[in-house]
Structure 1
Amino acid sequence: MRIGIDLGGTKTEVIALSDQGESLFRHRVATPRDDYPQTLAAIVGLVEQAEAATGQRGSVGVGIPGTLSSLTRRVKNANSTWLNGQPLDADLQRLLGREVRIANDANCLAVSEAVDGAAAGQQTVFAVIIGTGCGAGVALNGQAHAGGNGNGGEWGHNPLPWMDEDELRYRAEVPCYCGHAGCIETFISGTGFATDYQRLSGIALSGAEIMQRQQQQDPLAELALSRYEIRLAKSLAHVVNILDPDMIVLGGGMSNVERLYQTVPALVKNWVFGGEFTTPIRQAVHGDSSGVRGAAWLWPL
């Protein structure tokens, strides 16, 4: 049995999977924000609940909104800032009495979809989270690729490529929380989509509300969406020119915009070196379950 934990900013979820990928137990609790000891206690409690409910002992994998430094073995780059600087794997291994594997949550998405999701059986998978923020992960042969610095897949904090004049103005107006300007995240996250619509219209709306207006033929909503599609295509073309994955999988709230799967592949060709692009772009099969499932699959068969 494999146990996966998805440690999020607002909720922490556990899943227990059989060797065949069947869900045996699933539960979530509120994340104890800004409290590291209680966060540890919540994870341990969820593992204990899963094992009590199934009567089995499992391997444990944990997805986090950050990564483990290969130098210090402490968490870095987590937007759940109370985790940063903490020896999370060592503490969990001590409390649970077994080895624990930890990976970035976007890498867990990539693993989940590579094992038994939209990209099942593909060798190189690039998985994108386009929600409140923007992240990505890489799975190679069904396993997470973190890299020597733990930054594998940190796509959202690279600059948007091939900026036009308006994007250069946007870059100056909307700095990224990471301290840099022009990050892909500020353009193609759900937050970036809403910010661009507000720049065009002067009206602050959620992504879902903007899409409702687009379906009602609102020209500014249509313009915001078409600009979003171009920016997503440029950002993915950059990845294709470097990694050339076998499949690209989209997760997060913006992945539910069905039109992206028709428009973006054709647009990507405009920026791919040589002008050829046949890589499938698919929506994550497991939706918001991909992260916790991928954490469980950090222990391969």
Structure 2
Amino acid sequence: MSPLFFGLDIGGTKIELAACDATLAVLHRERIATPGADFDAFVAQTAALVRRAEAALGRPAQAVGLGMPGVADAATGCQLSSNVPALNGRRVAPALAAALGRTVHLGNDCQCFALSEAQGGAADGLPSMFGAILGTGAGGGFCVGGRLLAGYSGLAGEWGHGPASAALLAAHGLPVLDCPCGLRGCLERYVSGSGLAAIHRLRGGDARDAEAVHALAAQGDAAARAALAIHLDLLAQGLAGLVLVLDPHAIVLGGGLSKLQRLYDELPGAIARHLFRGARVPPVLPPRFGDAGGARGAALLARQRFTPSAP
């Protein structure tokens, strides 16, 4: 009988479970609302979600993967910078492992997205890929040969907390913004969906989100059109840095902004302007699994760590 691998994608509003067989075919899926403020409720309801899936499939999972927002402190294992208040400062994986009576394999949710797109997704079969999330924040993951490389402290892919070019910010008349991570001038503050809305407000607009900026630009709003141009330039600069350091064979976009066709049309040329002559821009691709890839990627992570020889 084929082994089962469960993936849990933890979001600010929902927890999604995908129960997969060894081929990563999804056999069972369920979503519940995220208990945002009560840690004990989060652990209890997440464990119950796993048990319901096992009952529905008639057998236990070989391994459980957990895609978490934010990062885990390398020294303490406590979750940091999470958009789920109940999880900040908590050792989430050990608590859930104790509730389930088995090991839980922890990964960043953006890394799980990248892994899903590297295996069976938009970058399937490529030697390497970078998955770049552009949602409320900006994060990502780097895969080589279909396997996630998490790095020394598990931070590989946190490109959104690299610095935006000070010269570029000055050229566009933008201030150096504080970031909730504790640093200043992080790319995430400008290139994420919320960053695009922030740029519009800094240019005199009042958009609450990226969707509003695009709607205003379509109506001819000058501040919105300027915000889109600035956003594209800063995003291209950030992705050009990834190309220079990692030279991935493809960049797969995720998050809310990944639905915008204009990025696939305009980003390659914009990235090229931030590279030296002769450097090639890899394909910039839309995701195959969209927002459903996180749970699948967490299941892949569980399979990868449970069976190190597995792809």
Q: Is the shorter-chain TM-score for this pair beyond 0.5, marking a shared fold?
A: yes
Describe the SS at the equivalent of 1:289. helix
**1:218 corresponding residue in structure 2:** 221
Of 261, 264, 269, the match for 2:264: 261
| Distance in 2 of aligned mates of 1:229 and 1:76 | 29
Q: How much has 1:264 moved relative to structure 2?
A: 0.7
CA contact (8 A) 2:122 2:252 kept: yes
Matched to 1:86, the amino acid is: R
Using the size of structure 2 for normalisation, the TM-score is: 0.90
1:167 positional shift? 5.8
Matches of 1:95 and 1:51, distance apart in 2: 15
CA distance in 2, matches of 1:7, 1:238: 29
CA shift, 1:261, in A, is 0.5
Deviation >4 Å, runs of 4+? none
Q: Which of 24, 30, 33 is equivalent to 1:27?
A: 30
Unaligned runs of 5+ in 2: 305-309
Alignment of 1:148-297 (within 5 A): 148-161=152-165, 163-164=167-168, 166=170, 169-172=173-176, 174-297=177-300
Secondary structure of the residue that 1:103 maps to in structure 2? Answer: strand
Are 1:106 and 2:101 an aligned pair? no
Q: Quote the offset at 1:165 in angstroms.
A: 5.2
Distance 1:197 1:24, change over 3 A: same
User: Is the partner of 2:125 in helix, strand or coil?
Assistant: coil
How much has 1:110 moved relative to structure 2? 0.5
Tell whether the 8 Å contact from 1:103 to 1:144 is kept in structure 2 after alignment.
no
* Structure 1 residues 219 and 17: alpha-carbon distance in aligned structure 2, compared to 1, 3 A threshold: same
Amino acid at match of 2:165: P
Shift of 1:186: 0.8
CA shift, 1:296, in A, is 0.7
Task: Name the stretch that deviates more: 214-223 or 154-163.
Answer: 214-223
Question: How big is the shift at 1:287?
Answer: 0.7
Compared CA separation, residues 92 and 165, structure 1 to 2 (3 A)? closer
Whether the 8 Å contact between 2:112 and 2:141 is mirrored in structure 1 is yes
Q: Does 1:121 align with 2:113?
A: no
Number of residue pairs aligned between Structure 1 and Structure 2: 300
TM-score (norm 1): 0.92
Alignment counterpart, residue 54 of structure 1, candidates 51, 54, 57:
57
2:252–2:287 Cα contact (<8 Å) kept: yes
- Match for 1:259: what amino acid? R
Paired with 1:51 and 1:131, the residues of 2 have a C-alpha distance of: 32
Which secondary structure does the structure 2 equivalent of 1:26 belong to?
strand
Whether contact under 8 Å (2:139, 2:158) holds in the other structure is yes
Q: Extract unaligned runs of 5+ from structure 1.
A: none
Q: CA RMSD in A?
A: 1.9
The worse-fitting range, judged by mean Cα deviation, of 79-88 and 36-45 is 79-88
Q: What is the aligned-residue identity percentage?
A: 38
2-structure distance, mates of 1:235, 1:103: 23
